[in-house]
């Protein structure tokens, strides 16, 4: 396999992962959720907090919890007490990005063992988490129009459908697949056997977006443990290596963009592929967890990542290529549409899923092919950032 341009010195491995349940409402506080996930990941890796040199936290907007400087509120809970500890933030892309930040803590040579924790508690805000999203918009251009989050995604989805002549029926297949995959996921919140008709008959929120096109709001947390090569070999026989990372942030002015193609993700993918020495993503990626808060986004993101040509992702989906037993399994976990969407935690859940898939520890979710290279991706902000991690065994 071609591996050009691996110009960084320290290889970084994932050696453990952990999750809490993902649910609409959880009794545990943000701190308690983060602690539960961190504990799971450390146990899974066979480490204790004492073995950890630095901690990275990912959590999306403070407004969900109504806690300013949320990262600082979480220090002890995430395991950061008396350690180098930071929170990184790129909106919905944060979950995968936290893993990227963990990567550079180790790849820089500064730390040997790093804990990455991502949590989200969306149920705190009343009356509905959607309300928080009102405050993400430009206060001059967009907010006075009464904009809501689903408007802008619907506008993107509609443009994508228009440009490539894509039918709602084909997009709905993604929701059907992911909710079905999630039936095998122990954290899943909205796993279900549904049909394309169920999606098309669900409540229309902002046409073309209907209720079953969207992932739910959730509480939950996820964590992973990263180490350098030396420690990875000491702790486990099956480390999973992070071989490429990439991210890219597009212009703030979303109404000035080509909404039919996620250029930010194309660039993020290119960066990660280059680092991992991947020339032909469609052939070389065996399994991918792409960000799917909306069903069309799975398709959009496959195209941005060059896992499908422009407008081709719905065809691959219809042909079953993206099923667990297909040639390019996409979201075998069940994704956000099936497992749930505690924003930052959902992104890190995807990294955890690739970790389990490559270790062949995914149980009933295990993909049929023998995967060597996997990809996890998240997306966020004003439809603006792509974050990508490529892993190999």
Partner 1 sequence: MKLPGTPYKDVDLKEGRIPYVEDKPDAKYRFSAGIAMSRFLEELKNGRIMGLKCLNCGRIYVPPRTFCSYCFKPTSEWVQVKDTGIVNTAVVSYIAADRGRMDKPLVVAVIELDGASPGMGILHKLGNVDPEDVKNGKIFGKRVRAVWRPEEERTGSITDILYFEPMEGD
Partner 2 sequence: MPSDVYIIGVGSTRFSPSTPELSFKELMFEAAVKAYNDAGIDARRDLDAIVSASEDYWEGISIFDEYIPDQLGGVLKPVFTVSGDGLWGVIHAYMLIKTGAFNIVAVEAHSKASDIVDINSIWRMAFDPYVIRPLIDNPHVLAGLEMNIFMENLDVDRDAISLVVSKNRANALNNPIAPYGSDVDPDMVSESRVVSYPLRELDISSYSDGAVVAVLAGETAARDLGIDAPKVKGVGWVSGSSYIEEWDYASPEFVWRAAQMAYSQAGIDDPYDSIDVAFIDDRYSFRELQSIYALGLNDGYSLNELMYNGVIYPDGDLPVNPFGGYLGCGYPLLAGGLLKLYNAMMYLRSAGPDTVESALVMARMEYPSPSAAVVILGW
Residue ranges binding partner 1 (CB under 8 A): 19-21, 23-28, 33, 36-37, 39-40, 63, 66, 127-128, 130-131, 134, 138-142, 144-148, 150-152, 154-159, 161-162, 186-187, 204-209, 219-220, 251, 253, 255-259
Q: Of 286 and 289, which has the nearer Cβ to partner 1?
A: 289
- Contact assessment for residue 387 and residue 90, using Cβ atoms and an 8 Å cutoff: yes
Tokens at 260, concatenated: 């039919």
Tell me the DSSP string of 243-263: EEEEEEE--S-GGGS-TTS-H
Ramachandran region, residue 220 (left: φ > 0; alpha: ψ -120 to 50; beta: rest) = left
CB of 206 to partner 1, least distance (A): 4
CB of 302 to partner 2, least distance (A): 20
Task: Rule CB under 8 A: choose which of 3, 4, 25, 72 binds partner 2.
Answer: 72
Interaction of residue 76 with partner 2, rule CB under 8 A = yes
Of 68, 61, 43, give the one whose Cα is nearest residue 224.
43
Q: Of 265 and 302, which has the nearer Cβ to partner 2?
A: 265
Tokens at 226, concatenated: 């990263």
For 142, other C-beta atoms within 10 Å of its C-beta total 17
Q: Of 20 and 317, which has the nearer Cβ to partner 1?
A: 20
CB of 33 to partner 1, least distance (A): 7
CB of 7 to partner 1, least distance (A): 26
Pairing of strands 385-392, 373-380: antiparallel
Interaction of residue 71 with partner 2, rule CB under 8 A = yes
Distance between CA atoms of residues 144 and 323, nearest Å: 43
255 binds, among partner 2, partner 1, none (CB under 5 to 8 A by kind): partner 1
Interaction of residue 11 with partner 2, rule CB under 8 A = no
How many binding residues for partner 2 (CB under 8 A)? Answer: 65
Distance between CA atoms of residues 248 and 156, nearest Å: 18
Residues 204-243 that bind partner 2 (CB under 8 A): none
Q: Which stretch binds partner 2 (CB under 8 A): 73-81, 112-120, 323-331, 345-353?
A: 73-81
Peptide bond preceding 203: is omega within 30 degrees of 0, i.e. cis? no
Distance between CA atoms of residues 11 and 331, nearest Å: 26
Burial of 347 (0-12, 13-18, 19+ CB in 10 A): buried
Q: Of 90 and 225, which has the nearer Cβ to partner 2?
A: 90
Tell me the DSSP string of 121-152: E-TTSSS-THHHHGGGS-TTTTGGGT--HHHH
28 binds, among partner 2, partner 1, none (CB under 5 to 8 A by kind): partner 1
Distance between CA atoms of residues 132 and 126, nearest Å: 9
The site map against partner 2 for 275-314 (x = CB under 8 A) is x---------------------------------------
Report DSSP state, residue 183. G
Tokens at 101, concatenated: 């930040």
Interaction of residue 120 with partner 2, rule CB under 8 A = no
Q: Footprint of partner 2 on this chain (CB under 8 A)?
A: 7-10, 60-63, 66-77, 80-91, 97, 101, 104-105, 107-110, 132-133, 135-136, 138-139, 246-253, 263-264, 267-268, 271, 275, 380-382, 384-385
């Amino acid at each position: 396999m071609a591996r050009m341009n691996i110009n960084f010195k320290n290889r970084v491995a994932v050696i453990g992962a952990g999750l809490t349940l993902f649910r609409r409402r959880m009794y545990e506080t943000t701190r308690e959720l983060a602690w539960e996930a961190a504990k799971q990941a450390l146990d899974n890796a066979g480490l204790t907090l004492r073995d950890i040199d630095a901690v990275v936290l990912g959590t999306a907007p403070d407004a969900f919890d109504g806690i300013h400087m949320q990262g600082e509120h979480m220090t002890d809970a995430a395991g950061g007490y008396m350690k180098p500890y930071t929170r990184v933030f790129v909106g919905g892309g944060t979950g995968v990005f936290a893993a990227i930040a963990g990567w550079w803590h180790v790849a820089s040579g500064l730390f040997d063992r790093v804990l990455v924790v991502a949590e989200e508690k969306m149920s705190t805000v009343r009356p509905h988490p959607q309300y928080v999203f009102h405050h993400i918009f430009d206060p001059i251009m967009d907010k006075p129009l009464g904009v809501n989050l689903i408007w802008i995604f619907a506008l993107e989805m509609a443009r994508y459908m228009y440009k490539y002549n894509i039918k709602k029926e084909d997009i709905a297949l993604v929701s059907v697949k992911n909710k079905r995959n999630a039936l095998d996921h122990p954290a899943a919140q909205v796993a279900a056997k549904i049909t394309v008709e169920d999606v098309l008959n669900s409540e229309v929120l902002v046409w073309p977006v209907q209720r079953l096109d969207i992932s739910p709001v959730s509480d939950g947390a996820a964590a992973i443990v990263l180490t350098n090569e030396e420690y990875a070999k000491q702790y486990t026989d099956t480390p999973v290596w992070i071989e490429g990372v990439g991210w890219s942030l597009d212009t703030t002015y979303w109404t000035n963009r080509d909404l039919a193609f996620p250029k930010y993700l194309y660039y993020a993918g290119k960066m990660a592929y280059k680092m991992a020495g991947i020339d032909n993503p469609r052939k070389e990626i065996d399994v991918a967890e792409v960000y799917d808060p909306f069903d069309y986004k799975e398709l959009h993101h496959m195209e941005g990542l060059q896992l499908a040509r422009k407008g081709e992702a719905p065809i691959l989906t219809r042909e079953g290529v993206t099923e667990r037993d297909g040639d390019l399994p996409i979201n075998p976990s069940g994704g956000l549409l099936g497992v749930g969407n505690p924003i930052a935690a959902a992104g890190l859940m995807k990294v955890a899923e690739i970790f389990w898939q490559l270790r062949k520890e995914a149980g009933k979710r295990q993909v049929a092919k023998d995967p060597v290279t996997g990809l996890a991706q998240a997306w966020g902000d004003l439809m603006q950032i792509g974050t990508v991690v490529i892993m190999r065994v």
